[in-house]
Amino acid sequence: MCGIIGYKGGKNAVKVVLNGLKRLEYRGYDSWGIAVKDGNIRTVKDIGKIGAVSEEDLKLGSAQMAIAHTRWSTHGEVNQINAHPHLSNNKRIAVVHNGIVENYVKLREFLKENNFEFYSGTDTEVIPNLIEFFMEEGVSFKGGVSKALAMLEGSFAIVAMHQDYPEIIGARNGSPLVVGRNNGGFFIASDVPAFLDLTNEVCYLDDKEMVIVGEGIDFFDLSGVKKEKEFQFIDWTLEQAEKGNYDHFMLKEIMEQKETIKKSIEQDDKKILEMADLIKEGYGVFFVACGTASYATRIGGYLFSKIAKKHVNVVCGSEFPYYKDFLTDKTLMIVVSQSGETADTIGAVKVAKEKGVKVLSIVNVMGSTLMRMADYSFLTNAGPEIGVASTKATTAQIALLTLLAYACNGGLEEGKEVLKKCVEESQELFDSKFVDKIEGLADKIVNYNDIYVIGRGTNFPVALEAAHKIKEVSYIHAEGMAGGELKHGTIALIDKGTPCICMVSNDEAKNDIISNAMEIKSRGGFIIGISPEDNEIFDFHVKVPDVGEASAIVNLIPAQMLAYYLAVKKGFNPDFPKNLAKCVTVK
């Protein structure tokens, strides 16, 4: 959930980590802090966002070693004391941490019994003090880190430095950590955009691994045994990770879909067909994902039923372990995640692996944990997605699942044609007139407290995701549902003028969903139709192209735009929705 960066090298470390924090703010923006070593360890910490903070504001001067953190709080309220980095009692060790120390109460009591004091309300503060405790027993900095981490229960990614040692140490178990290098130095961060302006040569740590950056770089397991690891180049660019001329990343990434949907289906045909064979042969196929990605998999479930004539089970990541008794070595699991670091999805894969399940991952980040855990993997090719609310990665996931569904029915080329048509005809959704129309719709409904979204078939999970987007960034209560479920309760909430979005495609569900919309209209609801054709019951029509089995993609895009403009008109920053962070690395 939190953003971490550490740097050692020939550049001004203060400037490097400050810029890195600004690029990581999508991972947490409650508070921030920086520690530098230039003889002694000095820290600056504050609450709020770091975007407007300058190097001069920090008054840290220059140094060649620094660690920094931007926080999404899990333990302890948001205040300056709880902001990272946290120091050991002797002030010689500084640590930044992402994750949760589940046994921190027990560890805190152990340390208090050994005369350690605590000043924050965080779980993190036990880590530097454990390192100090073990170093007082005579071990090195590396040994102190190893022994301290061996006592932690839960997930963590940490970066630590010691006043008397010339290296920075990073380690992970369950939370992501990536190492970068260039001729001028080394980087340790929770995500690649932190240092993308300086290098794209990276190496991802696996669980229970440690990296030590000194004059060179060495990798170890947490028991101290040296490991060999390889660096790789990623093809992301700094321009992709910056806003450019857009006011917000969310709008930029919505508009990028005119390109990213096309890139998502530029896959190796041979690999697609091999995966299709695995899916057809699977005795029990599970789609597993969390949040927005779970709605993409629900869409996939309908597509596999209709196109591939294949039953798949769609389960959210946090619930998947409760299906473990059904799993065998003939089961196939398809996990979907933008970051490839979602804690609950990773936990689900671990459960599946214990049963010998084959795993296919669909992720957006090269080298991510889920990509490395999977037996087979596809990249969605959407490029870095910075906005907390996923947009372009979602439609890329839907496009790739559509392609796989067609491949399972021997219709790979047909699937390509369907998606090519979707790419071509969806260009009109990014035209300025269309965008202006969506902004005008936002003006009409921005002051309502409730919005309902209905759909049937593939448009049911589209409705769920549309409502999800609206509440994520605008904080308006939005509820998505199957059109047929209205009369079982929700229709009692419809008042005069209540905005109701009706997702329509030219498919077998069209007449039924129009009837459901009529039920709402007869109770006074304001009907917004997202549909290829206008209908007399619509009070506001958003025209989308008729693209057949790819209709979920074109129906979702205007809903993303509407969510964006509702947030902006309510005065909220859609890139940083309250209480949320981009990568959910805690359970």
Q: Which residues are catalytic?
A: 2, 582
**The sheet that has 376-379: what strands, in order across it?**
313-316, 285-289, 332-337, 358-363, 376-379
Tokens 């405790």, located at residue: 133
Burial 238-247 (b: 16+ CB within 10 A, else e): eebbbeeeee
CA-CA-CA-CA dihedral for 305, 306, 308, 310, to nearest 10: 20
Cβ neighbors of 398 (< 8 A, separation 6 or more) are 296, 299, 300, 552, 553, 556
Cβ neighbors of 155 (< 8 A, separation 6 or more) are 99, 100, 173, 174, 175, 343, 585, 586, 587
Name the pairing type of β-strands 450-455 and 477-482. parallel
Q: What are phi and psi of 44, to 5 degrees?
A: -135, 130
**The sheet that has 499-503: what strands, in order across it?**
477-482, 450-455, 499-503, 526-531, 540-543
Cβ neighbors of 183 (< 8 A, separation 6 or more) are none
Instruction: Report DSSP letters for 474-535, one per residue.
Output: H--EEEEEEGGGGGGTGGGG--TT-EEEEE--SSTTHHHHHHHHHHHHTTT-EEEEEESS--
Alpha carbon 501 to its chain centroid, in Å, reads: 26
Instruction: Report DSSP letters for 269-283, one per residue.
Output: HHHHHHHHHHHHH-S
